[in-house]
Amino acid sequence: MNRVFTVLATVLFAGCAAVPDVAPPLDAGTPPLPIVATRVAALEDGEVSTYAAYVGPLRVAQLEYTSRRLDVHGRPMLVVDGVTRMSGIAGIVARAGGTLRTVVDPTDFLPTTSMWTTATADPKSRAVAFDRRRAVAAAWTRDWIATARIPGERLLDPLSGVWVVRVLAPPSDGAEHRALVVEGTAVHLLTYRRVALPDAPDTDPVERWTIRSDDVDPETGRLRGSPPKTLVTVDVEPVPPHRILRLEGRMAFGAVRVQLETAADVRPSR
Protein backbone atom coordinates (compact mmCIF):
# COMPACT_ATOMS: atom_id res chain seq x y z
CA MET A 1 0.00 0.00 0.00
CA ASN A 2 2.81 2.42 0.83
CA ARG A 3 4.37 1.75 -2.56
CA VAL A 4 1.07 2.45 -4.32
CA PHE A 5 0.65 5.69 -2.40
CA THR A 6 4.19 6.74 -3.29
CA VAL A 7 3.62 6.10 -6.99
CA LEU A 8 0.33 8.02 -6.97
CA ALA A 9 1.81 10.94 -5.10
CA THR A 10 4.77 11.07 -7.47
CA VAL A 11 2.49 11.13 -10.52
CA LEU A 12 0.20 13.76 -9.05
CA PHE A 13 2.65 16.13 -7.47
CA ALA A 14 5.53 16.01 -9.95
CA GLY A 15 3.49 18.51 -11.95
CA CYS A 16 4.34 20.25 -15.18
CA ALA A 17 2.90 23.69 -14.53
CA ALA A 18 5.09 26.63 -15.43
CA VAL A 19 6.78 27.93 -12.27
CA PRO A 20 7.88 31.56 -12.61
CA ASP A 21 11.34 32.74 -11.67
CA VAL A 22 10.42 35.32 -9.03
CA ALA A 23 13.07 37.18 -7.03
CA PRO A 24 12.84 37.61 -3.25
CA PRO A 25 10.94 40.67 -1.96
CA LEU A 26 12.77 43.99 -1.94
CA ASP A 27 12.02 44.35 1.78
CA ALA A 28 9.51 43.16 4.39
CA GLY A 29 7.49 46.38 4.61
CA THR A 30 3.76 46.27 3.88
CA PRO A 31 2.42 49.74 3.01
CA PRO A 32 -1.31 49.96 2.17
CA LEU A 33 -2.25 48.21 -1.04
CA PRO A 34 -3.41 50.66 -3.74
CA ILE A 35 -6.99 49.55 -4.36
CA VAL A 36 -8.75 50.92 -7.47
CA ALA A 37 -12.28 51.91 -6.44
CA THR A 38 -13.70 51.56 -9.96
CA ARG A 39 -12.44 47.98 -10.11
CA VAL A 40 -14.08 47.15 -6.78
CA ALA A 41 -17.34 48.66 -8.06
CA ALA A 42 -17.10 46.43 -11.16
CA LEU A 43 -17.19 43.21 -9.10
CA GLU A 44 -20.56 41.68 -9.89
CA ASP A 45 -23.03 40.98 -7.10
CA GLY A 46 -23.80 37.26 -7.25
CA GLU A 47 -20.87 36.44 -9.53
CA VAL A 48 -20.16 32.72 -9.86
CA SER A 49 -16.88 31.53 -11.37
CA THR A 50 -16.00 27.87 -11.88
CA TYR A 51 -12.40 26.70 -12.31
CA ALA A 52 -10.71 23.41 -13.17
CA ALA A 53 -7.51 22.55 -11.29
CA TYR A 54 -4.79 20.41 -12.86
CA VAL A 55 -1.70 18.80 -11.36
CA GLY A 56 0.44 17.75 -14.28
CA PRO A 57 -1.90 16.32 -16.93
CA LEU A 58 -4.54 15.26 -14.41
CA ARG A 59 -7.66 17.23 -13.58
CA VAL A 60 -7.79 16.98 -9.79
CA ALA A 61 -10.49 19.39 -8.66
CA GLN A 62 -13.29 21.78 -9.49
CA LEU A 63 -13.39 25.12 -7.70
CA GLU A 64 -16.45 27.36 -7.52
CA TYR A 65 -16.37 30.90 -6.14
CA THR A 66 -19.39 33.10 -5.47
CA SER A 67 -19.20 36.75 -4.47
CA ARG A 68 -22.05 38.71 -2.91
CA ARG A 69 -22.48 42.24 -1.65
CA LEU A 70 -24.09 42.55 1.78
CA ASP A 71 -24.95 45.37 4.14
CA VAL A 72 -23.69 44.56 7.65
CA HIS A 73 -24.98 47.02 10.25
CA GLY A 74 -25.02 49.77 7.64
CA ARG A 75 -21.55 48.90 6.38
CA PRO A 76 -21.10 47.46 2.85
CA MET A 77 -19.22 44.18 2.74
CA LEU A 78 -18.16 41.69 0.08
CA VAL A 79 -18.60 38.00 0.90
CA VAL A 80 -16.64 35.47 -1.15
CA ASP A 81 -17.55 31.79 -0.80
CA GLY A 82 -15.50 28.97 -2.27
CA VAL A 83 -16.10 25.25 -2.68
CA THR A 84 -13.34 22.83 -3.74
CA ARG A 85 -14.42 19.39 -4.93
CA MET A 86 -11.65 16.87 -5.46
CA SER A 87 -12.13 14.56 -8.43
CA GLY A 88 -10.98 11.15 -9.59
CA ILE A 89 -7.83 9.60 -8.19
CA ALA A 90 -6.89 12.89 -6.49
CA GLY A 91 -9.34 12.10 -3.72
CA ILE A 92 -7.04 9.29 -2.60
CA VAL A 93 -3.98 11.43 -1.97
CA ALA A 94 -5.28 14.99 -1.58
CA ARG A 95 -7.23 16.54 1.28
CA ALA A 96 -7.64 20.03 -0.12
CA GLY A 97 -11.38 19.74 -0.71
CA GLY A 98 -13.72 21.79 1.43
CA THR A 99 -15.46 25.12 1.83
CA LEU A 100 -14.23 28.58 2.69
CA ARG A 101 -15.68 32.01 3.28
CA THR A 102 -14.00 35.39 3.41
CA VAL A 103 -15.71 38.66 4.31
CA VAL A 104 -13.82 41.74 3.08
CA ASP A 105 -14.27 45.48 3.36
CA PRO A 106 -14.57 46.60 -0.28
CA THR A 107 -12.96 49.99 0.43
CA ASP A 108 -9.53 48.47 1.11
CA PHE A 109 -10.14 44.76 0.37
CA LEU A 110 -9.01 43.75 3.87
CA PRO A 111 -10.85 40.81 5.45
CA THR A 112 -12.86 40.94 8.66
CA THR A 113 -13.29 37.18 8.98
CA SER A 114 -12.01 34.07 7.23
CA MET A 115 -13.25 30.49 7.67
CA TRP A 116 -12.20 27.19 6.09
CA THR A 117 -13.50 23.63 6.65
CA THR A 118 -12.15 20.50 4.99
CA ALA A 119 -14.40 17.98 3.25
CA THR A 120 -12.79 14.99 4.98
CA ALA A 121 -14.74 12.42 7.00
CA ASP A 122 -13.36 14.08 10.14
CA PRO A 123 -13.58 17.76 9.16
CA LYS A 124 -10.96 20.23 10.31
CA SER A 125 -11.64 23.94 10.57
CA ARG A 126 -9.72 27.18 10.64
CA ALA A 127 -11.10 30.58 11.53
CA VAL A 128 -9.46 33.99 11.71
CA ALA A 129 -11.02 37.21 13.06
CA PHE A 130 -9.29 40.43 12.00
CA ASP A 131 -9.57 43.29 14.51
CA ARG A 132 -8.56 46.41 12.61
CA ARG A 133 -8.96 48.75 15.58
CA ARG A 134 -6.59 46.73 17.77
CA ALA A 135 -4.35 45.77 14.81
CA VAL A 136 -4.46 42.06 15.62
CA ALA A 137 -5.84 38.84 14.13
CA ALA A 138 -7.09 36.01 16.34
CA ALA A 139 -6.61 32.64 14.63
CA TRP A 140 -8.17 29.38 15.78
CA THR A 141 -8.04 25.85 14.38
CA ARG A 142 -10.15 22.83 15.28
CA ASP A 143 -8.40 19.45 15.45
CA TRP A 144 -5.12 21.14 14.60
CA ILE A 145 -5.39 22.42 18.21
CA ALA A 146 -3.64 25.75 17.76
CA THR A 147 -4.46 29.38 18.46
CA ALA A 148 -2.54 32.58 17.86
CA ARG A 149 -2.83 36.36 18.21
CA ILE A 150 -1.08 37.90 15.23
CA PRO A 151 -0.28 41.63 15.22
CA GLY A 152 -0.93 43.63 12.08
CA GLU A 153 -3.44 46.21 10.86
CA ARG A 154 -3.40 45.22 7.17
CA LEU A 155 -3.54 41.42 7.25
CA LEU A 156 -5.06 39.31 4.48
CA ASP A 157 -6.22 35.71 4.32
CA PRO A 158 -5.26 33.32 1.47
CA LEU A 159 -8.39 34.01 -0.59
CA SER A 160 -8.29 37.80 -0.37
CA GLY A 161 -4.54 37.55 -0.93
CA VAL A 162 -5.19 36.20 -4.44
CA TRP A 163 -8.45 37.99 -5.24
CA VAL A 164 -6.90 41.38 -4.53
CA VAL A 165 -5.08 41.28 -7.89
CA ARG A 166 -8.48 41.92 -9.47
CA VAL A 167 -8.61 45.38 -7.91
CA LEU A 168 -4.94 46.37 -7.50
CA ALA A 169 -3.30 49.29 -9.26
CA PRO A 170 -0.09 48.17 -11.01
CA PRO A 171 3.17 49.07 -9.25
CA SER A 172 5.66 51.33 -10.98
CA ASP A 173 8.46 49.81 -13.06
CA GLY A 174 10.81 47.72 -10.95
CA ALA A 175 8.55 48.06 -7.88
CA GLU A 176 6.20 45.68 -6.09
CA HIS A 177 3.29 45.52 -3.67
CA ARG A 178 3.54 43.50 -0.45
CA ALA A 179 1.03 42.21 2.10
CA LEU A 180 0.97 39.86 5.07
CA VAL A 181 -1.38 36.90 4.87
CA VAL A 182 -2.58 34.76 7.79
CA GLU A 183 -3.08 31.08 6.93
CA GLY A 184 -4.35 29.27 10.00
CA THR A 185 -1.80 30.34 12.60
CA ALA A 186 1.05 30.87 10.10
CA VAL A 187 2.05 34.21 8.57
CA HIS A 188 3.45 34.76 5.06
CA LEU A 189 4.65 37.79 3.13
CA LEU A 190 3.05 38.01 -0.31
CA THR A 191 4.92 39.92 -3.02
CA TYR A 192 2.96 41.11 -6.07
CA ARG A 193 4.60 42.15 -9.32
CA ARG A 194 3.11 43.00 -12.72
CA VAL A 195 4.60 41.25 -15.75
CA ALA A 196 4.86 43.01 -19.09
CA LEU A 197 3.43 41.12 -22.06
CA PRO A 198 4.85 42.85 -25.15
CA ASP A 199 4.02 39.93 -27.43
CA ALA A 200 0.45 39.35 -26.19
CA PRO A 201 -2.07 39.25 -29.06
CA ASP A 202 -4.36 42.27 -29.21
CA THR A 203 -7.38 40.00 -29.54
CA ASP A 204 -6.79 38.26 -26.20
CA PRO A 205 -4.87 40.55 -23.83
CA VAL A 206 -4.46 39.75 -20.16
CA GLU A 207 -3.04 41.47 -17.11
CA ARG A 208 -0.36 39.21 -15.67
CA TRP A 209 0.82 39.20 -12.06
CA THR A 210 3.27 37.07 -10.14
CA ILE A 211 2.70 36.25 -6.47
CA ARG A 212 5.47 35.00 -4.21
CA SER A 213 4.91 33.78 -0.64
CA ASP A 214 7.68 33.85 2.02
CA ASP A 215 7.43 32.65 5.62
CA VAL A 216 7.41 35.31 8.32
CA ASP A 217 8.10 35.02 12.05
CA PRO A 218 4.78 36.25 13.54
CA GLU A 219 6.52 37.56 16.67
CA THR A 220 9.29 39.60 15.02
CA GLY A 221 7.76 40.20 11.57
CA ARG A 222 11.03 39.16 9.93
CA LEU A 223 11.40 36.78 7.00
CA ARG A 224 12.52 33.31 8.03
CA GLY A 225 14.79 32.94 5.00
CA SER A 226 13.23 29.64 3.92
CA PRO A 227 12.47 28.92 0.24
CA PRO A 228 9.12 30.35 -0.90
CA LYS A 229 6.17 27.97 -0.70
CA THR A 230 4.21 29.72 -3.41
CA LEU A 231 5.40 31.05 -6.78
CA VAL A 232 2.49 31.58 -9.15
CA THR A 233 1.51 33.52 -12.23
CA VAL A 234 -2.00 34.97 -12.26
CA ASP A 235 -3.75 36.18 -15.42
CA VAL A 236 -6.59 38.69 -14.96
CA GLU A 237 -9.00 39.83 -17.67
CA PRO A 238 -8.28 43.49 -18.50
CA VAL A 239 -11.96 44.51 -18.71
CA PRO A 240 -14.61 44.60 -15.95
CA PRO A 241 -15.27 42.63 -13.80
CA HIS A 242 -11.57 41.65 -14.08
CA ARG A 243 -11.98 37.96 -13.33
CA ILE A 244 -9.00 35.74 -12.70
CA LEU A 245 -8.58 33.68 -15.87
CA ARG A 246 -5.67 31.43 -14.90
CA LEU A 247 -3.36 30.71 -11.98
CA GLU A 248 -0.30 28.55 -12.55
CA GLY A 249 2.84 27.70 -10.61
CA ARG A 250 4.04 26.06 -7.43
CA MET A 251 1.92 25.82 -4.32
CA ALA A 252 2.83 24.15 -1.00
CA PHE A 253 1.97 20.67 -2.33
CA GLY A 254 3.38 20.92 -5.86
CA ALA A 255 2.86 22.48 -9.28
CA VAL A 256 -0.73 23.31 -10.18
CA ARG A 257 -2.72 25.03 -12.94
CA VAL A 258 -6.15 26.53 -12.29
CA GLN A 259 -8.17 27.58 -15.34
CA LEU A 260 -11.46 29.49 -15.55
CA GLU A 261 -14.16 27.28 -17.09
CA THR A 262 -17.31 29.38 -16.83
CA ALA A 263 -18.45 32.64 -15.30
CA ALA A 264 -21.82 33.06 -16.99
CA ASP A 265 -23.97 32.28 -13.98
CA VAL A 266 -24.85 35.31 -11.85
CA ARG A 267 -27.01 34.87 -8.75
CA PRO A 268 -28.14 38.22 -7.33
CA SER A 269 -28.06 38.67 -3.56
CA ARG A 270 -31.37 38.60 -1.75
Per residue in 135-193, pLDDT tens?
Answer: 677 777 666 556 677 777 788 998 999 999 999 999 988 899 999 988 877 788 999 99
Every domain of the chain and the residues it spans: 16-262
pLDDT score recorded for residue 80: 95
For residue 52, pLDDT beyond 90: yes
Average pLDDT over residues 218-222: 68
Q: What band does 201 get if pLDDT is binned at 50, 70 and 90?
A: low
- The mean predicted confidence, pLDDT, of the chain is 80
Write the burial class of residue 115 (CB in 10 Å: 0-12 exposed, 13-18 middle, 19+ buried): middle
The 10 Å Cβ neighbour count of residue 138 is 15
Rounded to the nearest 5 degrees, what angle is found at the Cα of 109, between the Cα atoms of 106 and 112?
A: 90
For residue 131, pLDDT beyond 80: yes
Rounded to the nearest 5 degrees, what angle is found at the Cα of 260, between the Cα atoms of 90 and 99?
A: 55
CA distances from 173 to 166, 170, 176, 193, 217 (A): 19, 9, 8, 9, 29
The three state secondary structure string of 105-122 is ECCCCEEEEEEEEECCCC
For residue 88, pLDDT beyond 60: yes
**What's the rounded Cα separation, in Å, for the pair 110 and 120?**
29
Helix (H, G, I), strand (E, B) or coil at 19: coil
